Amino acid sequence: MQKFLTALLAVGFLITLYLGQSHWNQERQASAKNKPVHQSSTSNIDDQNTEEQELLKLTSNWPANAVHQFKQSLKEDKPFTILFAGSPAIGSETDGSFPLIKEKLVKAFGERHINVELKTFNLTSTQLLYQKKQAEIAAVNADLIIFEPFIQKNNGEVLIKDTLQNTSKIIDDVQANKPETAFILQPAFPLYQAEIYPRQVAELKKYAQENKLTYLDHWTAWPDPTTAAMKDYLQPDMSAPSEQGYHVWSEYILNFLTNSKSESE
């Protein structure tokens, strides 16, 4: 009887040992399966944070409210819209500086993160307001507008004080539709040996400073407009920049909007 009990206890011990070992193996396998999933999830979050930090570095020159809107766009995983608006001097979808600017902005930020649009009007700013065309600018619902306020188109037709008042009206009307929209002002291209036009552009720069608006001072990248060197940067009739002029203009804008250095530096 005693031998029988001893054998029974031995069998019970072996069964217990087997079950314990089996349970331990199952726990170890489950842990091994779960661990890589956790690492992958953490890695994805780290990659996403790194990408966001790299993209935000590109926005260092932007107005503060535009940077805030861009952060929100990243968080909501929707594209941030930049609109170039003004007279035909800024180019078209196929000509001028705009196509290159659009291509390189999308390349820098990625199609998923940025949308670049263009709206031009062959009007003075007074005509634009009379025809209520500012509604077309507002309808884009842009997050950031690079605005050329028709200063060259207005030259000889609209006084500079009226140009600046019109600029304020356009900005106000656009922001009435979307208060978060940020503005960056820029002049059109410089002209060779012009007299009144440079003074008007100086007034626009002063207006931007007084109204705490970011100003794209791209004229600093062009040759001195009073010298013959300027002719190489314009079409013979000065109706538009030459290829060289468009290159200088687009490079300046791209360097500013992506916090990059000039190719010549």
pLDDT digits (tens, 9 = 90+) for 52-104: 999 999 999 999 999 999 999 999 999 999 999 999 999 999 999 999 999 99
> Residue 146 is part of which domain span?
62-257
Q: Residue 39: what pLDDT?
A: 54
Predicted local confidence at residue 110, as pLDDT:
96
pLDDT range class, residue 50, cuts 50, 70, 90: confident
Cβ-contact 119, 142 below 8 angstroms: no
Q: How confident is the model at residue 48 (pLDDT cuts 50, 70, 90)?
A: low
Alpha carbons 153 and 72: distance in angstroms, whole number? 36
Domain with 249 in it: what CATH number? 3.40.50.1110
Nearest to 65 by CA among 179, 173, 168: 179
- Burial label for 220, CB within 10 Å (0-12, 13-18, 19+), is exposed
- pLDDT on residue 25: 53
> Is residue 160 one of the residues assigned to a domain?
yes
Domain-located, residue 265: no
Q: Is residue 7 part of a domain?
A: no
- 124 φψ region: left (φ > 0), alpha (ψ -120 to 50), beta (else): beta
The per-residue pLDDT for range 103-159, each reduced to its tens digit, is 999 999 999 999 999 999 999 999 999 999 999 999 999 999 999 999 999 999 999
In a domain, 3, yes or no: no
Top-confidence residue, 11 or 256: 256
Domain count of the fold of the chain = 1
* Cα–Cα dist 61/57, whole Å: 9
Q: Express each pLDDT in 175-189 by its tens digit.
A: 999 999 999 999 999
> Is 12 within a domain?
no
pLDDT at 4: 45
State the pLDDT at residue 245: 97
The structure tokens listed for 133 are 């065309």
Contact call for residues 86 and 149 (beta carbons, < 8 A):
yes
Helix (H) or strand (E) holding 219: none
Does residue 124 fall inside a structural domain? yes
Using alpha carbons, list the distances in angstroms from residue 91 to 28, 97, 132.
65, 6, 22
Contact (CB, 8 A) for 65 and 79: no
pLDDT recorded at residue 14:
45
Which of these, 255, 242, 213, 226, lies nearest to 108 by C-alpha position?
Answer: 255
Burial class for 188, CB neighbours closer than 10 Å (0-12, 13-18, 19+): buried
What pLDDT digit, counting tens, does each position of 201-250 carry?
999 999 999 999 999 999 999 999 999 999 999 999 999 999 999 999 99
Task: Please indicate, yes or no, if residue 149 is contained in any of the structural domains.
Answer: yes
Q: Is 145 inside a domain boundary?
A: yes
Please provide the DSSP assignment of 45-113 as one string. HHHHHHHHHHHHHTTTTS-HHHHHHHHHHHHHT-PEEEEEEESGGG--SSSSSHHHHHHHHHHHH-TTT
pLDDT of res. 164: 99
> pLDDT-derived band of residue 168, with 50, 70 and 90 as boundaries?
very high
**185 in helix, strand or coil?**
strand
